[in-house]
Amino acid sequence: MSPTERIPTLILGGTGYVAGEVLRLVVGHPNFEIAGVMSDSQPGEPVAKAFPHLAAVLGDLRFLSEDDVRSQLAQHPRSAVFSAAPHGVSAALIDRLLGAAEAAGTRPRMVDISADYRYGTAEAYAAVYKHAHGAPTRIKDFTCAVPEHLATAPTPHVAHPGCFATAILLASVPLLALDLVTPTLFVSGVTGSTGSGRKPVDGTHHPTRHSDLYSYNALVHRHIPEITACAAAATGITADFAFVPHSGPFARGIHATVQASLKGTTHGSSSDTATLLARLREFYAHSPFVRVLDSAPRLKDIVASNYAHLSITGNGRTVAVTCVIDNLTKGAAGGAVQWMNRLFDLPETAGLTAPAAGWT
* Active site residue ranges: 163
d(CA 242, CA 309): 22
For 67-73, the CB contacts below 8 A with 24+ separation are 68/36, 68/38, 68/43, 69/10, 69/12, 69/36, 69/38, 69/97, 70/97, 70/100, 72/8, 72/10, 72/35, 72/36, 73/10, 73/97, 73/100, 73/101, 73/104, 73/106, 73/108
User: What's the alpha-carbon Rg for the chain, to the nearest Å?
Assistant: 20
Q: Which helix (H) or strand (E) holds 165?
A: helix 163-177
Question: 3-state DSSP call for residue 242?
Answer: strand
- Around Cβ 152, how many Cβ atoms within 10 Å? 7
Closest to 324 in 3D by CA, of 263, 238, 257:
257
- Tell me the β-bridge partners of 188: 244, 257
Q: Are strands 63-64 and 32-38 parallel, antiparallel or unpaired?
A: parallel
Neighbours of 168 (CB within 10 A): 31
Distance CA 316, CA 79 (A): 51
> What's the CA dihedral at 76, 77, 81, 85 to 10 degrees?
70
d(C-alpha 235, C-alpha 231), whole Å = 6
Compute the distance between CA of residue 323 and CA of residue 285 in angstroms, rounded to an integer. 16
